[in-house]
Amino acid sequence: MTATQKTSSELSFFAEKQLCIDLIRDVVDADGSQSSSYFDDRVAKLLVILDRYQEQSQLLGTHIVELINPINEGLLRYLKDAEVGFRASS
């Protein structure tokens, strides 16, 4: 891979990084009123993007934390809501 190709690949990922984060947020922040096709569509798009980097996983490595943050934030919100609900029912 030439330096130009490597730079092109990295720039391509940066352009897709925000799209990946947005797709993850769409799934994590969904309120349950969305259809299953809503989730299927977003997950399919995310998988297409991430599959492109299967052979170049080092390009994803420096961005994993940013990709995982929306999932972590959603889990923490869920746990907090569950705790509030548990305390209210006690």
What are the residue ranges spanned by the domains of the chain?
Answer: 3-89
Q: Helix or strand or coil: residue 47?
A: helix
- Asked if residues 45 and 26 have their Cβ atoms less than 8 Å apart, the reply is no
What is the model's pTM?
0.72
Q: Which of 4-8, 16-20, 34-38, 46-50 has the lowest mean pLDDT?
A: 4-8
Name the residue with higher pLDDT: 39 or 14: 39
Q: Is 24 exposed, middle or buried (0-12, 13-18, 19+ CB in 10 A)?
A: buried
